[in-house]
Chains A and B, each alone.
Chain A
Amino acid sequence: MSNPSADAAATPATAAPPSMTTHKAGRTLATSLAILLALGAALPFFAPEHIVTAGIVVLLNCYLAQCWNLAAGYAGQFSLGHSVFIGIGGYTSTILFTKFGLSPWLGCILGGILAAGVGTLLAMIVFRYRIKGVFFAVVTLSAAEVVRGLFENWDFVGSTAGVVMVLSNDPGNMMFNSRTPYFLIALAMVGLLAYGTFAMERTRFGQYLIALREDEDAAEASGVPTYKCKVAVIALSAFCTAFGGTFYAQFLLFIVPETMFSFEHVLTMMLGAMIGGAGTVIGPIVGSVIFGVLAEALRSLPFENSREIASGARIVYALVLMVIVIKLPGGIVSLFARRQRSGQ
């Protein structure tokens, strides 16, 4: 087999070429990530509750950005319809729980399978017709609008009124009175997916994805099964995203199409991944955490209400995004990666 990563390494614009992440660098990364996770896990035991709540949101955003990063960052498939998979995950587990009493711990797996199925179907149609780039983005965006329209008119799932779950302290059904378990679950999700992404990067599949992102025709010509890889990565990304949907539903205990299928989720995923560094393991985490810290820092400024804080944070973030896309396409982590490489 020819080495598909050679193309990737030749393009410094995309962050962290695999050649850099040698075994040693990988082990350093894994160790530092493990230490960070352990430190993070201690946070809810001493931090005040509003910090823990903010932390849960940040972690969920990290996780979702990581999911989006699998398809967009590694394989270059710019989905703008990932809210579909959040919605499917959240709705599947919630409906199974409220109507049939199935625990969301099991429901989230079914939601993941269903989302992967929808993702596979969509990807098969779209990639069969060789839709790519901007058109792929638009098709996924419209798919999200179609699915949201269907849910808003589907009485069985509560149409526009949605579904409310009654809070009880019920760990067997992923419901807790305390914020701490939610925080730990979200942290575990981020950690597991980071490890999963790290492992995927080292498989032949991961290298195929990077190759087809860099130059699809060249990858195809060197024997990469690009069609299968693209369908598989959308399915994988959808599967993971659906877990985020279930977690979001259990955290809010209230789902409506407007919040579950919101385009805002897609923007948040994209911002986190792109600013941190798409196509890297830690990029989406770095980007989302910075966004979370920025939002929290703005909270301490003398603004009148949360609307102004949120808007202000988003303006700053969007400007940062634009500057990064123009000046630093590899995201924040590419600064670090470059320095490390030149130091070696």
Chain B
Amino acid sequence: MISSETLFQALTSGLLMGSAYALIAIGFTVVFGVMRIVNFGHGHLVMAAMFASYALHRYVGLDPYVSAVLVFPAFIGLGALLHRVVIVPIMDASHAAHMLTTLGLLLVIENAMNLIFGGDLRSVNTSLSGQSLILGGVALPWTRLVAAAVSLIAIGGIWVGLKYTRFGTEIRAAADNRIGAMLVGVPIQRVFLRAFALATATAAVAGTILVPFYLVNPFVGHDFMLKAFVIAIIGGLGSLPGALAAGLLVGLIEAAGSVFLTASLGNALVFGLLMIMLLVRPSGLFGRVQS
């Protein structure tokens, strides 16, 4: 029998992890929503950010929370570069070409990291490592709390930005109707560039907050990519509230699965949910029916 404390502990950490998943998924879903491009490399960008934090910690001695100040702008630049080199040439190509090119990007990132850092799992200790907030018999590690808090703030910030700024309005216009947006004078190429850079920057944030408690090797990107996919589709591709709700849901299912079943069955459960979702409601929880 599983005690209520174990269950509560699992569900809380599921929710905390789910918030970080939601942030990863939002970067993915923004790119799809605005540019209609499936970025298979998104999870690997998160992994690359984790390695960037790791390297700055290991060789420069910077705390990941401090080095975020360097990693974040670096990834905005990386996003702009990738947009120019990888995304622009395939904008008008088929979905198959999108998938193949971004899978190529995935392979390049994964193997570059494998070449530099090797395949071993690595960890980073921060000022907050090993400390927990005890709340009603449940221990909440500070690193996970910070990760969840930063994720929620970032998601809220993106939501407000999309809703109330000029840049956000342009992004939504481009997502809604590309031709229409161009006709009313939205600088569509610049919007795409910014959207992709924004998505890459969210990957940097996610990587920075995950690395204090999530072991990193070149292959964890695969898991993030799958999670981003699952969450974006369950929530409805292009939907921000959908991604948040689905992220929390996936975190919960995963945690509950690892308590009641095994970790790998919990994972299988998440993908089972995705398949059912695609069959019964392909537009997702919060998605609109797209033409």
Contacts and interface: CB of A to CB of B under 8 A. Distances in A.
Interface of A: 76, 78, 125, 129, 131, 133-135, 137-139, 141-143, 145-146, 148-150, 152-153, 160, 263, 267, 270, 274, 307-308, 310-312, 314-315, 317-319, 321-322, 325-326, 329
10 contacts: A133-B95, A133-B96, A142-B230, A146-B271, A263-B222, A267-B103, A314-B111, A317-B107, A318-B106, A325-B90
B154 interface: no
Given A274-B100, A311-B111, A315-B107, 8 more contacts: A129-B278, A137-B99, A143-B275, A149-B269, A267-B107, A321-B107, A325-B97, A326-B93
* 8 A-B pairs closest in CB distance: A149-B268, A318-B107, A142-B271, A322-B104, A311-B111, A311-B115, A314-B111, A318-B104
Interface in B120-158: none
B1 interface: no
Contact of A153 (B104, B106, B264, B278): B264
B104 A319 contact: yes
Interface residues of B, number: 44
Contacts of B187: none
Contacts of B103: 267, 270, 321
Contacts of A134: 38, 95, 98-99
Given A145-B268, A150-B268, A315-B108, A326 B101 contact: yes
A152 B267 CA distance: 11
Contacts of A76: 96
Interface of B: 38, 86, 89-90, 93, 95-101, 103-108, 110-112, 114-115, 118-119, 222, 226, 229-230, 233, 261-262, 264-265, 267-269, 271-272, 274-275, 278-279, 282
Contacts of A148: 264, 268
A331 to B, nearest CB: 11
A274 B94 CA distance: 14
A317 B95 CA distance: 21
Contacts of A312: 111, 115
A148 B90 CA distance: 33
A138 B107 contact: no
Contacts of B112: 311, 315
Contacts of B119: 307
Contact of B114 (A78, A150, A307): A307
